[in-house]
Structure 1
Amino acid sequence: MKIDKPAPGAPCWVELASSDPAASKAFYTELFGWRAEVDPRPEAGGYTTLLLGEDAVAGLSPQYREGQPTAWSVSFATADADATAAAVRAAGGSLLMEPTEVLDIGRFAVAADPSGAAFSIWQARLFNGVALLNEPGSLGWVELATRDTHGAKEFYSRVFGWSVTVGEMYTQWGLAGRDFGGMMDMADQFPADVPPYWMPYFAVADVDSTAERSVGLGASVTLPPTDVPDGPRLAVLHDPHGARFGIHVADQAS
């Protein structure tokens, strides 16, 4: 990830909604060396910030609706959540949650692109988002998996002004020449009932040992450690409750 701090249009936060927050906290703190701080305010609903040292790197929340899967979500920064929400609608997307205030820390909305892939938008006030990027144990990349790559290029470029770099095997998203994510064509690689989704990759010092350690903690490996041509070594995992996430070697995502 060439983005080194949250910026308008760039990834600024990742959050896990878990069916068992205590178990998820135990898994990720052990895997990445994170520590957890629970917001004590009753109105925060038990929201937990996950930190690496003193740096916020991710969020953890209970599930807020029945039937909600345990899954990671990705948020993108905006200077104006309401204007971005309007841009989502104008580009053919939908709002799953209208812009709303989050205590005194910011304003956010939950949206979906035309294919149904969900993401959040975040207008910071007291909280900007991740305080560390692409260091071992922090967010290093975000990836969209979709069956409509053409539509996604049009939608996200229109809403966020992203640049699109199309390679032979992979498409990358960026802002002003600084790439931060990519897009994978689901095509025939996924069962028809798997919906489009956004997924975070966390940077690690060693992909192989981290993948092995995750299995020992109850995770499963979807994509074993792999060297990507002209890219980093990476792996894709499911945590013990089914949430999908990736890992890659720090400082090698391009």
Structure 2
Amino acid sequence: MTDREGLPIWYELLARDPDAAERFYTHVLGWSVERPQLAAAPDYRVLAAPDGDGVAGLMAVPPGAPMAPGWLFYLAADDVDATVERIIAAGGAVAMPATDIPEVGRIALVADPHGTLFYVMRGDGDESRAFRTADTATAGHAVWNELTAPDQDAALAFYAGLFGWRHEGAMPMGDLGDYKFVHSGTTCLGATMNNFAGKGPGWQFYFMVEDVDAAVERLIGAGGRVEQGPDEIPGGSFSVVAADPEGAAFGFVGERRA
């Protein structure tokens, strides 16, 4: 594996209607779709950025699974089984045991102590380009990972124990407390914040677009909705918190070219 441990290397959407989700996201975020014909998941779809880099997967919510439509991500792990053991010891849980996926790698679906799901993965392929920091990303790539938790410091301590992440820098949000930036080495991965009214624990992911206002128009026209924004962020770009037609939360970041 060439991916650095603890970095996000893949994103995945579980949808009730994958065909409708495919139409929505290709229209709103400009992704194209590939079908790798995996034996373990025949209908699995790969969502690729305009530059051709694979960014995310799309699959149906498994029949009978107690899961709402939503987004997950995969974090690189040098040793998936050892990482799962550390997750359990730190108060997390295992939703799907470590499994080998031919032509993909070894993965496990786990949860942090607050119940937030994520994958750990040792990939068999080349270095992932799904996540890129905002200064290097182009349209379609993930650029920000945002964790909401009942106790952001306790949540970060869990991930720090696994991957060495740390809080460095913060932005005050008044009564909501601080929006604390998360780093892995020199890479800023995103931020954490505490739960607030209407927002429970979970990860939310933001993708790069070329024009935020144009993306908002596409979002609304395709049946999605704006939850917040566009809000200016440091550096001159703008962010939007959104939901797709099935209610799955996501976000996007970009310039206001108008």
Matches within 5 A, 1:183-222: 183-187=192-196, 189-190=197-198, 195-222=200-227
* Distance of aligned partners of 1:13 and 1:230 in 2 relative to their CA distance in 1, 3 Å threshold: same
Q: Deviation per CA, 1:183-221: give whole Å up to 9, x if none.
A: 12113x32xxx6411111001122222122211111011
Amino acid at match of 2:147: L
CA distance in 2, matches of 1:87, 1:148: 20
Say which SS state the counterpart of residue 40 (structure 2) adopts. helix
Q: Does 1:175 align with 2:181?
A: no
CA distance in 1, matches of 2:57, 2:231: 28
Q: Aligned-pair RMSD on alpha carbons?
A: 2.0
Amino acid at match of 1:205: E
The aligned counterpart of 1:83 is: 82
Matches within 5 A, 1:101-112: 101-112=100-111
CA distance in 1, matches of 2:63, 2:169: 37
Q: Choose from 46, 57, 78 the match for 1:59.
A: 57
State the 1:45 CA deviation. Answer: 3.0
* Distance of aligned partners of 1:127 and 1:229 in 2 relative to their CA distance in 1, 3 Å threshold: closer
Q: Does 1:142 align with 2:145?
A: yes
Amino acid at match of 1:58: A
Amino acid at match of 2:167: V
Q: Deviation per CA, 1:88-127: give whole Å up to 9, x if none.
A: 1121111111111112310111111111111111111136
CA distance in 2, matches of 1:94, 1:131: 26
CA distance in 2, matches of 1:232, 1:164: 22
The aligned counterpart of 1:160 is: 163
CA distance in 1, matches of 2:162, 2:236: 27
Say which SS state the counterpart of residue 150 (structure 1) adopts. helix
CA distance in 2, matches of 1:88, 1:230: 35
* Distance of aligned partners of 1:132 and 1:90 in 2 relative to their CA distance in 1, 3 Å threshold: closer
TM-score normalised over the length of structure 1: 0.88
- Count matched residues: 242
Amino acid at match of 1:215: I
Unmatched runs of 5 consecutive residues or more in structure 2: 173-177
Amino acid at match of 1:241: E
State the 1:6 CA deviation. Answer: 4.5
CA distance in 2, matches of 1:51, 1:6: 19
Q: Choose from 151, 157, 178 the match for 2:154.
A: 151
The aligned counterpart of 2:35 is: 38
Q: Choose from 222, 245, 248 the match for 2:250.
A: 245
| 1:74 and 1:199 in contact (8 A); partners too | no
| 1:163 and 1:177 in contact (8 A); partners too | no
CA distance in 2, matches of 1:226, 1:15: 25
Say which SS state the counterpart of residue 69 (structure 1) adopts. coil
| 2:56 and 2:130 in contact (8 A); partners too | no
